[in-house]
């Protein structure tokens, strides 16, 4: 069985790459591992921090673990650059652990897509910064997409 296409499709323009990044942001903000995993090829290869994953089942398992630990997760992605079938984004997300300690995690991702618009490679570098709850900048009901009028990373000075 062939996976359905996931527009926008490569080759990407700055506009279609930004739309792809926003679609990824919205999906990740759903915190639904099944929904998110369907954006990746069945044999997708990931590096997330120091963890290496291969395949949709491993991605779904990873995301299930992630969102069980990273509570009240809210993410913003911003296009950095694009070319052909590749997109680079920068991102930040806020979350707290089960003891109530808040963090803002910053990172960069390099994405490579197949011709159907499914991501076949994701390379993510991420750093965590402890923050006070009063320093949070991402305020919208979660889970769910960032509202259209909520500032992005650049507007927030991140």
Q: Is the pTM of this model over 0.75?
A: yes
Convert the pLDDT of each residue in 98-154 to its tens digit: 999 999 999 999 999 999 999 999 999 999 999 999 999 999 999 999 999 999 999
> What is the structure's pLDDT at 147?
97
Distance CA 136, CA 156 (A): 11
CA atoms of 10 and 115, how far apart (whole Å): 6
How far is Cα 28 from Cα 149, in angstroms, rounded to an integer?
Answer: 19
Q: Which of 109, 137, 141 is nearest to 125 (CA)?
A: 109
Q: How many CA atoms lie within 13 A of 125 on its CB side?
A: 5
Q: Tell me the per-residue pLDDT of 38-50, one tens digit each, with 9 for 90 and over.
A: 999 999 999 999 9
**CATH classification (class only), 14-135:** alpha beta
Mean per-residue pLDDT over the chain, rounded: 97
Per the document, the length of the chain is 158
């Amino acid at each position: 069985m062939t996976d359905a296409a996931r527009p926008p499709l490569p080759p990407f323009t700055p506009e279609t790459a930004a739309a792809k990044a926003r679609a990824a942001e919205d999906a990740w903000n759903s915190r639904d591992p099944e929904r998110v995993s369907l954006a990746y090829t069945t044999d997708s290869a990931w590096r997330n921090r120091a963890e290496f994953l291969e395949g949709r089942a491993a991605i779904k398992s990873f995301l299930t673990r992630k969102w069980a630990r990273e509570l009240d997760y809210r993410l913003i992605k911003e296009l950095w650059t694009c070319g052909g079938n590749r997109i680079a984004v920068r991102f930040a997300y806020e979350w707290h652990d089960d003891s109530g300690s808040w963090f803002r995690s910053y990172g960069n991702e390099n994405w490579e897509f197949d011709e159907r618009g499914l991501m076949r490679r994701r390379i993510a570098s991420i750093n965590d910064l402890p923050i006070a709850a009063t320093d949070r900048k991402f305020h919208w009901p979660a889970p769910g997409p960032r509202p259209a009028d909520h500032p992005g990373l650049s507007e927030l000075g991140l």
